[in-house]
Amino acid sequence: YSILECFPDDIRLGPSKFTLKRYLYQNNREHVFHGRRINVFQGEKLVTYNTQTVFQKYISFSLKVSKEAKAMQHFGDSPFAMSAFPNETDPIGINTGMFIPTLEQQGTEEQKAKWLSLAYQEKIIGTYAQTELGHGTFLRGLETTATYDPKTKEFILNTPSLSATKFWPGGLGRTANHCVVVAQLYTQGKCHGIHIFMLQLRSLEDHSLLPGIENGVIGNKFGFGTNDNGYLKLNSVRIPRENMMMRYSKVLEDGTYIKPENTKVTYGVMVLVRSFIVRGAALHLAEACTIAIRYSAVRRQSELTPGGIEPQILDYQTQQYRLFPLLSTAYAFHFASTNMTETYERISKQIEAGRLDQLPQLHALAAGLKAFTTYAGSAGIEVCRICCGGHGYSHASGLPKIYVCEVPGCTYEGENTVMMLQVARYLMKCHRSKQQGKTLPGFVSYIGEPMEKNSRMDDKVSFTCIVKAYKHRAARLIEEAAKQMQSFIQSGSPAHEAWNKSSVQLFLAANAHCHLFCVQNFIDSIRNCKVDSNTSKVLNEVCQLYGVHGILENLGEFMQDNFLTGQHAEYLQKKMLTLFDVMRPNAVALVDAFDFPDHILQSCLGRYDGQVYQALYDYAKMAPMNQTEVHSTYYTHLKPLMSADSKL
């Protein structure tokens, strides 16, 4: 049952056929942007398009990531698959999103020649079988084994316990006929840690399961209803030696194990997938803001002036307080994700050329931004939903689906707390390097630098003061965490125990570091934005709100060593309220600029034409239960209940 059906045909085709309604003018959208043309960010440029090409553009916008991601345009059986089921996942998605990239990065030339073209053409459909019932993010704990048998030159795959059962991979339940399996490699009586193996699951003739394989879906989930996430048990399944991904590590015919030159190169796919996740968080939050802000411009409620007409709820300061910071966050994450993609592309080239020195920085950036954006993105989507009142709870709003699509990002591809602690580990390394007199590269260079003890912020709250405050906070928390670790070690704790006892502090340090990145990158990005002066002014306001609100939300961390004072807090609070007033007339235009067609939002509340009540009513009318006036349960349950003897 799809909400799409409640949109009449002319609306389904996208916003180009809409009439511009009066309420939109009331929001003065044309003060900033320009009537009904569509404005889209491409990289850091704001570009105006004709509306005819909206769909095509949306897809290239979402997928403008890297060469691997271009494969995703062949996602499903149509380049338009993504717009056919927005905010759902495709069971074939893992084939293009993870199976193919794994082959490309881990396969030898022979292996790529054998499988890659088949996978691209969907002659075989693969998935990525890593997570087990008992293990997720901690890969070394995986229990599945691949034991080499030199007699037959085969690996024997086993899930030796219940908790070794592969669990969760997308498309694994009933769709995939191949997968790459992550398993502990045993050869010549020794375990060499986890490696990746190609496994055919099902017959290409009739899709029946091959011997030794038990597999199915894992059952109902919060979301991902369109995906057959599955489980997999392996009982002595034999695969040829050539099915081990051997670009880096190798097992020779006699069972001799050859180590890879550098184990870190295998991080590539992981970093790429995490960059997709950051992009996803930015897009999902932008969608939710679009729905909530458009609806708040349509919805009228209560009174501001006694006896006056009911105002748009977007005029309430409390509504602005909840929505505008999220709008600014959506913009901040857009730019963060763009930066991450570019960094990935740049560093990837270096890695291909054998230079790995930038990899730790990239790895920490990917892990940190993945955690930071998915936490804030999913919590923000729920705030948007709750800001739509009761109707936000209906699937007609489109918001519940966006939430359940975004929130697992906090868990998959590396649990967020673990990710933050990986960032912290990198920061502690940087801190030690600095103490040893080394210069730190790029973005982390602020760590351990001498800094002002007190902010010079005044009531203007300049970008310079904002960035200095975030730098000071992150540097202080990193310093604190390092000190705390040190003090535990000095009092006799082993390093691992000191780490665990300091991990809340380490988490907070990593979080502050990621926050600083998003703030500084937002400021840098809009400085480089090629837009007209009006648009630039608006983007500056949005950016300033992001910085100001972030300080106020975490005020204690900025005040704890008196870097900011109560007086500064007052400046910031006043500035925030001023920014709400300034942003109010541009708010609808700012979400329109994300350029989501109605077809993608699938929301009665976020419709471009503002006809929300008619859409909600139409949605209700179409519910299957409304097809008969008296429901069958009346005869089976209600009537017997009503006619039963007194129950008192």
Contacts of a second copy in 388-417 (CB under 8 A)? 389-390, 392-396, 400, 407-408, 410-412, 415-417
Smaller CB distance to a second copy: residue 250 or 395? 395
Q: Taking the C-alpha atoms of 553, 577, 545 and 371 in order, what is their torsion angle to the nearest 10 degrees?
A: 30
Smaller CB distance to a second copy: residue 533 or 628? 628
What CA–CA distance (Å, rounded) separates 620 from 599? 19
What CA–CA distance (Å, rounded) separates 547 from 466? 6
- Contact status: 168 vs a second copy (CB under 8 A): yes
CA-based R_g, the chain, Å: 27
Using the rule CB under 8 A, give the single segment among 34-42, 136-144, 323-331, 442-450 that binds a second copy: 136-144
Instruction: Give the three-class secondary structure for 430.
Output: helix
- Contact status: 309 vs a second copy (CB under 8 A): no
- Contact status: 235 vs a second copy (CB under 8 A): no
Which of 35, 211, 306, 450 touches a second copy by CB under 8 A? 306
What CA–CA distance (Å, rounded) separates 301 from 304? 9
Contacts of a second copy in 604-643 (CB under 8 A)? 613-614, 616-617, 619-623, 625-626, 629-631, 633-634, 638-639, 641-642
Shortest Å, Cβ 355 to a second copy: 30
Catalytic residue (one of 68, 88, 154, 413): 413
Contacts of a second copy in 320-359 (CB under 8 A)? 321-322
Using the rule CB under 8 A, give the single segment among 30-38, 163-171, 356-364, 533-541 that binds a second copy: 163-171
Contacts of a second copy in 355-384 (CB under 8 A)? 379, 382
Using the rule CB under 8 A, give the single segment among 16-24, 29-37, 40-48, 309-317 that binds a second copy: 309-317
For residue 350, CA distances in Å to 343, 354, 362, 370 come to 11, 6, 12, 22
Known binding residue 230? Answer is no
Shortest Å, Cβ 217 to a second copy: 5
- Contact status: 479 vs a second copy (CB under 8 A): no
What CA–CA distance (Å, rounded) separates 318 from 381? 17
At 101, list the tokens.
């990239």
Smaller CB distance to a second copy: residue 23 or 49? 23
- Contact status: 99 vs a second copy (CB under 8 A): no
- Contact status: 646 vs a second copy (CB under 8 A): yes
DSSP state of 208: P
Using the rule CB under 8 A, give the single segment among 7-15, 204-212, 255-263, 426-434 that binds a second copy: 204-212
What CA–CA distance (Å, rounded) separates 275 from 100? 16
Contacts of a second copy in 143-162 (CB under 8 A)? 162
* Distance from the Cα of residue 231 to its chain's centroid: 24
Within 10 angstroms of residue 360's Cβ, the number of other Cβ atoms is 17
Within 10 angstroms of residue 441's Cβ, the number of other Cβ atoms is 13
What CA–CA distance (Å, rounded) separates 81 from 177? 21
User: Hey, which residues does 135 pair with through a beta bridge?
Assistant: 132
| Residues 6+ away with beta carbon under 8 Å from 31 | 534, 585, 586, 589
Helix residue ranges per DSSP H, 92-212: 93-94, 100-106, 109-120
Smaller CB distance to a second copy: residue 124 or 293? 124
Shortest Å, Cβ 158 to a second copy: 17
Instruction: Give the three-class secondary structure for 544.
Output: helix
Size of the residue set binding a second copy (CB under 8 A): 125
User: Hey, which residues does 45 pair with through a beta bridge?
Assistant: 42
Contacts of a second copy in 71-90 (CB under 8 A)? 74, 77
Instruction: Give the three-class secondary structure for 610.
Output: coil
Quick check: is 44 catalytic? no
Which of 317, 464, 487, 534 touches a second copy by CB under 8 A? 317
Known binding residue 131? Answer is yes
DSSP state of 388: T
- Contact status: 237 vs a second copy (CB under 8 A): no
Q: Do β-strands 250-251 and 45-49 pair in parallel, antiparallel, or remain unpaired?
A: unpaired
Strand positions, DSSP E, 556-641: none
Which of 113, 258, 304, 451 touches a second copy by CB under 8 A? 304
- Contact status: 492 vs a second copy (CB under 8 A): no
Annotated binding site for FAD: 131, 170
Annotated binding site: 131, 170
The catalytic residues are 413
